[in-house]
Amino acid sequence: MKIIMLGAPGAGKGTQAKMIAEKYSIPHVSTGDIFRANIKNGTELGKQAKEYMDAGKLVPDELTVKILLDRVAQDDCKNGYVLDGFPRTIPQAEVLENALNELGDKIDFAVNVDVPDENIVRRMSGRRACLKCGATYHIEHIPPKQEGICDTCGSELVLRDDDKPETVQNRLKVYHEQTQPLIDFYTERKVLKTVDGTKDMKEVFADIIAILG
């Protein structure tokens, strides 16, 4: 079973991807993780990706897909995988589709975790992080025992720049421009399934499992 996770930043698709991977005993393939592993291991593809990243440029789609295909060709992916963070754009989706076609393969499901923008802004701007020990909280859902103070190490909690409402709005704008068209792309391929991401995390997971079977 080959699955792509779609959804805006903060929609919770990464969490769901990990849970799906665990349930079906298939790898959770995050492009960020693959890049880091290739760079750390000094592979040829990793060296090429690092050149772009060091220059502050985006890694080209063709190279990203090469790194991805190299990962999904490994033994642990023979029963399938969950792709998280790729594709982000139509050109990436097309390059991936063509590459899989050549292998006589295809994506089985594109799962869209749908959450309205205002929910995401509220969700992310409620996050608080401890920069000292890395613990994370949410002022509504997982509040610290003492407001603004980390339960684990007693340090002050902060709202990360990434989670500030204006930053989140910008990220959502980019998402809608670049990634939203993928919903149409996978709808045309008859593999898109949408779940309501505003529900409790376990309920969202149950809805996804009902789709995947």
Catalytic residue among 18, 122, 164, 171: 171
Q: What SS3 string covers 119-188?
A: HHHHHHHCEEEECCCCCEEECCCECCCECCECCCCCCEEECCHHHCHHHHHHHHHHHHHHCCHHHHHHHH
**Residues 173 and 91 sit within 8 Å (Cβ to Cβ):** no
- The question of whether 88 is a catalytic residue gets the answer yes
- The question of whether 128 is a catalytic residue gets the answer no
**CA angle in degrees (0–180, nearest 5) for 86-90-96:** 55
**Residues 17 and 82 sit within 8 Å (Cβ to Cβ):** yes
Q: Is the dihedral of CA 34, 198, 145, 19 positive or negative?
A: negative
Q: Is the dihedral of CA 100, 197, 208, 204 positive or negative?
A: positive
Length of the chain: 213
Catalytic residue among 78, 106, 160, 173: 160
Catalytic residue among 2, 66, 88, 123: 88
CA distance 19 to 184: 26
Half-sphere exposure of 185 (CA within 13 A, CB side): 22
- The question of whether 13 is a catalytic residue gets the answer yes
Catalytic residue among 66, 123, 127, 128: 127
Catalytic residue among 2, 13, 123, 128: 13
Annotated catalytic residues are 13, 88, 127, 160, 171
